[in-house]
Amino acid sequence: MARFNKSTEVQTVLFDKTQWTVSKAKAWLRRKGYSIPDADTTSQYHRFRQRPPFQFQKGTFRTLDLGKNTGIKAVIAVPKTSQKKNPSGDAKKAKRPWLPATLVALATPLSIDLESGETLKFPLSGKFVLGSNKSGTELWIVSEKGGKNIRATDAKGEKLYESFTGFEHDEVAKLVQIRPRSMSRLGRAMSIVYRSDKFSRPGKNSDYVHPFQRYPTVSVDNLSKPTIVALRGGRIKVQKEGITG
């Protein structure tokens, strides 16, 4: 087995279906202090994910037996770190990430499919907003919770909003001032799903799916529970026909 110089953590716990039922597996997880999510049952195992794969470094995943003949395995890997170290070993001071001064709120985000096969989902209860910079070349998803709403009266943002939604401008957006301490890269986005009433009568929403042709980079403020998500690069363009690129 390969050895790692960095410490590993458990990403998923697997229980052999021929030896374990879901209820007995959950009882074992509870006794050992693991998280108890819904089981993902395959042809051979009951799988209980502890953390999503995108929170770990690629190429470090290994599967181990937890005891002899127990029927329990663990997928382990080296977790991603939010800070880099300089050659002296001291933590490098993180630079505050750059963010646009104004975001134009366009729609309600539902999910992003990542290159890793994972899906970022945005519950409606989180009051997430899908917005863009005034040029329409970046997408930002932010939670309004705990934020400070600001009114935007900007001609360029107003034009983008009216082109995308088909509605005349009242307020460009209910915007939130966002200043995360750092952003961590997750990978690339394959597609995005959002809900909008654009070019419909107000209050009548439709869900839209946009598969990216050139995959933008996805970054988040918190790997465990993102409240700010940025999609940049990949030739994103917000236009009258919707999100393109």
- Residue 26 to residue 239: CA distance in whole angstroms: 48
Shared-domain flag, residues 110 and 70 = no
The residue that leads in pLDDT, 173 or 44, is 44
Q: pTM of the predicted model, to two decimals? A: 0.58
Structurally, how many domains does the chain consist of?
2
**Mean pLDDT over each residue of the chain, to the nearest integer:** 79
In this predicted structure, the answer to whether residue 194 has a pLDDT above a threshold of 80 is yes
Question: pLDDT of 176-189, one tens digit each?
Answer: 556 667 788 888 99
User: What is residue 101's predicted lDDT score, i.e. its pLDDT?
Assistant: 66
Residues 26-36: what's their mean pLDDT?
Answer: 90
The answer to the question of residue 154 being in a domain is yes
In a domain, 180, yes or no: yes
The answer on 196 and 151 residing in a single domain is yes
Provide the β-strand partners of residue 139: 132, 231
Least confident stretch, 79-83, 155-159, 168-172: 168-172
Stretch (H or E) spanning 241: none
Same-domain check for residues 162 and 200: yes
Does the residue 70 lie in any domain?
yes
In a domain, 135, yes or no: yes
Is 73 in the same domain as 122?
no
Q: Does one domain contain both 127 and 18? A: no
pLDDT surpassing 50 at residue 110: yes
In a domain, 92, yes or no: no
Inside any domain, residue 35: yes
Query: What per-residue confidence (pLDDT) applies to 62?
Result: 92
Percent helix, strand, coil in the chain, to 5, is 10, 35, 50
The residue segments making up the domain with residue 33 are 9-77
One domain, residues 182 and 226: yes
Residue 90 inside a domain? The answer is no
Under 8 Å CB-to-CB from 238, ≥6 apart: which residues?
A: 106, 132, 136, 137, 139, 160, 164, 244
Identify the pLDDT of residue 221: 85
Residue 43 in domain: yes
- Residues of the chain with pLDDT > 70, as a percent, come to 73
CA atoms within 13 A on the CB side of 30: 6
φ/ψ bin of 203: left (φ > 0), alpha (ψ from -120 to 50), beta (otherwise): left
